[in-house]
Amino acid sequence: MEVIEIISNFINKDNNVVEVEFRVIGDSDDMIRVDTIEFEYLNDFGYGVNFMETDIFNDIDEDWDLGFDDDEDFFIDEENLLSFLNEYYLVYEDRLPVAEYR
């Protein structure tokens, strides 16, 4: 099992979780996996420091309209999230969500 594509992710600071949609090797384009992972696991695996505040992009976003929402305060680089998910599901194989058709 290897996570190969992040479709979307959202950091929910109020609940201290990361909501992520992704695909693994073998999933077809019409399949998706959805998981909600507690933020503490990102810290435990050493990825909590990879979060950046989106306000550093405010000036750029105004000029280029990158689509950052005002209520979304943090984001994580997709490569780091991909690495985290692969490590997380290697350790916690039983937590890998079942693929759903969308």
| Beta-bridge partner residues of 32 | 100
Give tens-digit pLDDT for 61-91. Answer: 455 544 444 444 567 889 999 999 999 999 9
3-class DSSP string for the chain? CCEEEEEEEEEECCCCEEEEEEEECCCCCCEEEEEEEEHHHHHHCCCHHHEEEHHHHHHHHHHHCCCCCCCCCEEECHHHHHHHHHHHHHHCHHHCCCCEEC
How far apart, in whole angstroms, are the C-alpha atoms of residue 25 and residue 67? 29
Give tens-digit pLDDT for 6-44. Answer: 999 988 878 889 999 999 999 999 999 999 999 899 989
Write down the pLDDT at residue 62.
52
